[in-house]
Amino acid sequence: MKNVSRRNFMALAAGAAASAAAPSINAQQPTSHQMPMEEAPPLPLRPDEEYVVPDHTLEAKWKIMTLDGVKVKVRTYNGNIPGPLIVAQAGTKLKIRLKNLLTPYDSSAWDSRQMNVPHMLDHTNLHLHGLDVATHIFDPPGTSDCAAPMISIGPNEYKDYTFDIPQDQPPGLRWYHPHAHGATAVQAVSGMAGGVIIKGAIDEVPEIKAAQEFRIVLQDIGLFETDEPHADYAESYEPRQNAMWQTYGSDQYDQYQYPSGSVTIDGKPTNPSQACGFTTGDYHLRFYLANGSPYFRERHNPDNPTAPHSFQLTPAVFKMRPGEVARFRMLNGCSDLMMPIQVENHPMHLLAMDGNNFDHPEVKEYVPNAPQVILAPANRAEFLIKASTKPGKYRILQLAQKAQFLEAAQKTIATIEVEGEPMNMDLPLNLPTLTRYPPISDAEIVRKRRFVFSGLYPGKQNPTVGIDFRINNQLYDEFAIPTTVFLDTCEEWTIEVPDAARGGSEGHPFHIHVNNFEVVSVAGIVPPHRLIQDTIWVAQNTATVIRLRFKQWTGKAVFHCHILPHEDTGMMQNFLIAKTMPVHHHERSIKSLEEKSSQKN
Ligand SMILES: [Cu+2]
């Protein structure tokens, strides 16, 4: 891979694409849902709705901060990384105002027929990840119009969202992040994400109620040296439009003697000092953060770009007494990293995945170098740890893995320091039963589908990016609906990542909006206990089988790979949840034949 000249390939391919497509200016007109802030009428904005005062206001805005001694300019919610924690109850309305205070970004050379290139990095929207709420990516929320555009809030605009949280929404850890196609990766890997906790029955289990709670929001921050002449920061992630970072090297070297430089949509090198192109995962500099504090650093490795130079920083410390039980809630909010998680020398009492608790805690024994839980990008794990009777320091580890484009070194996420007066806290035997996801029987399945997630390199459909990230051989199309499902029906889907020869160069995490799914099998293995998730890792050359019940909500929604650069460059599809299953024309014709014959008799 090292000798591949991506610039040469892209120069040819992107040049051809650019000459075939007429340039268009992307003029965004505010709609009634996106009012420029200075023109907004006083509250209440829309008297026909119950919207009065938002429960939470999220402001998307730049912030200059210092990470591990490096002055960086990042995108945030409300100036904080992670964004504010949102706590809500099932059966209530959650009102969130999203204000976009990001600065304008030039997308003038972007051809809007080519959706799967980074564009409109100054536009944003909001996704509540893992909540069973109405579809809210297309305008207006809940729409079933196949031509409905994605919600896109421009600089100095805002939008009021109202989410109806179902009464039977399982209590647990969920999260929010931007989902504007073409800008999701850049915004999220710049810091825009936060946790959502739904309170409920599990919080009242006496052994859990008695436990102190440690929340761990994990994020990554991708950075490049800035080329702004008078910048008061050293690194940021501000790719020029249609400029791609050349992971496999170039003629340009930065002050650290690392190759830099990007290509334009025409495949031409940009200004040699412009190091900041869109990347499909490799950055000049990347920090991994736990609750906003960096615990690990990676630097681009010009000699072996898929194995970044790695450096462990000082991780956070959680203090526990010997025999104490603590509740951990961990969110993998990273843009692309799959994390095999292990707590040193301690069994993990897993309570929930993706905010959906089990009937009883599942004990994952400690085995050196074996993960106790795997967190794909976007997954959450909630677990109890009963501290050892032996005082000491025990690491929470992300084990090394080579299942992705970039090799992931082992990282210490945090340290549990066991010290002080011993105690002997109890672990719960049972957990509350979830009612929203009754098991789906064979007889309920009305349709089986197969979706293949594959990457083609060099790309044929997406020459600007140079790699095609596809589902069933197609790139994302905002207005196509390849899949229609029906309310109150169940389906079984097989998500497949092929072998290397057929485009399975790495694993992909599958995520679907609106309804969580039941995991039937992973690589042919039936899980040891019932699993309800909204995201699942699908490893190279394996298939994962899931069952879905389309419940309560109709409308246009999406499923996609949760490696965000893959999603932004095409690995996403729309689907429609339609209200009633129509009578198939075959059944209609049989019925009319029967009617005709009965009339004759
Ligand atoms: Cu992917």
pLDDT in tens, 33-60: 344 444 333 333 333 344 446 789 999 9
Structure tokens at 105: 């970004």
Question: What per-residue string of b and e applies to 31-62 under the rule 16 or more CB within 10 Å gives b?
Answer: eebbbeeeeeeeeeeeeeeebeebebbbbbbb
Whether the domain at 6-200 and the domain at 442-578 fall into the same CATH topology: yes
- Expressed in angstroms and rounded, the spacing between residue 8 Cα and the centre of ligand 1 is 25
CATH number for the domain whose boundaries are 6-200: 2.60.40.420
DSSP 8-state class, residue 384: E
In percent, the amount of the chain with pLDDT more than 70 equals: 86
The identity of residue 38, as a single letter, is E
**Of the options 2.60.40.420, 3.30.460.10, 1.10.10.10, 3.40.50.2020, the CATH number for the domain spanning 442-578:** 2.60.40.420
Which residues are CB-contacts of 19 (< 8 A; sequence separation ≥ 6)? Answer: none
228, burial (CB in 10 Å: exposed 0-12, middle 13-18, buried 19+): exposed
Task: Name the band, by pLDDT with cuts 50, 70 and 90, for residue 256.
Answer: very low
- Expressed in angstroms and rounded, the spacing between residue 457 Cα and the centre of ligand 1 is 13
Q: What is the pLDDT of residues 292-308, one digit of tens each?
A: 999 999 998 877 888 99
- Expressed in angstroms and rounded, the spacing between residue 51 Cα and the centre of ligand 1 is 37
Task: Name the band, by pLDDT with cuts 50, 70 and 90, for residue 486.
Answer: very high
Question: What per-residue string of b and e applies to 322-359 under the rule 16 or more CB within 10 Å gives b?
Answer: bebbbbbbbbbbbbbbbbbbbbbebbbbbbbbbbbbbe
- Expressed in angstroms and rounded, the spacing between residue 188 Cα and the centre of ligand 1 is 15
Average pLDDT over the chain reads: 87
Distance, in Å, from the CA atom of 351 to the CA atom of 459, rounded to the nearest integer, reads 42
- Expressed in angstroms and rounded, the spacing between residue 539 Cα and the centre of ligand 1 is 10
pTM of the model: 0.88
Residue 132: the pLDDT is 96
Please say whether the dihedral angle defined by the alpha carbons of residues 63, 65, 71 and 75, taken in this order, is positive or negative.
negative
> So where are the chain's domains?
6-200, 442-578
Distance, in Å, from the CA atom of 436 to the CA atom of 426, rounded to the nearest integer, reads 28
CA dihedral of 178, 122, 463, 377, whole degrees rounded to 10: -20
Residue 254: the pLDDT is 46
In percent, the amount of the chain with pLDDT more than 90 equals: 72
- Expressed in angstroms and rounded, the spacing between residue 145 Cα and the centre of ligand 1 is 27
Residue 53: the pLDDT is 62
Query: Lowest mean pLDDT: which of 142-151, 530-539, 590-599?
Result: 590-599
Say if residue 368 is preceded by a cis peptide, omega within 30 of 0: no
- Expressed in angstroms and rounded, the spacing between residue 469 Cα and the centre of ligand 1 is 7
- Expressed in angstroms and rounded, the spacing between residue 473 Cα and the centre of ligand 1 is 13
Q: What is the pLDDT of residues 180-236, one digit of tens each?
A: 999 999 999 999 999 999 999 999 999 999 999 999 999 999 998 887 888 999 999
Structure tokens at 568: 């932004």
- Expressed in angstroms and rounded, the spacing between residue 75 Cα and the centre of ligand 1 is 23
Q: How far is CA 474 from the centre of its chain?
A: 20
Distance, in Å, from the CA atom of 310 to the CA atom of 412, rounded to the nearest integer, reads 12
- Expressed in angstroms and rounded, the spacing between residue 191 Cα and the centre of ligand 1 is 20
Q: Is the predicted pLDDT of residue 265 greater than 50, yes or no?
A: no
* Higher pLDDT, residue 425 or 17: 425
Q: What is the pLDDT of residues 376-424, one digit of tens each?
A: 999 999 999 999 999 999 999 999 999 999 999 999 999 999 999 999 9
Structure tokens at 398: 């992300």
Mean pLDDT (whole number) for 125-132: 97
- Expressed in angstroms and rounded, the spacing between residue 185 Cα and the centre of ligand 1 is 12
- Expressed in angstroms and rounded, the spacing between residue 361 Cα and the centre of ligand 1 is 31
407, burial (CB in 10 Å: exposed 0-12, middle 13-18, buried 19+): middle
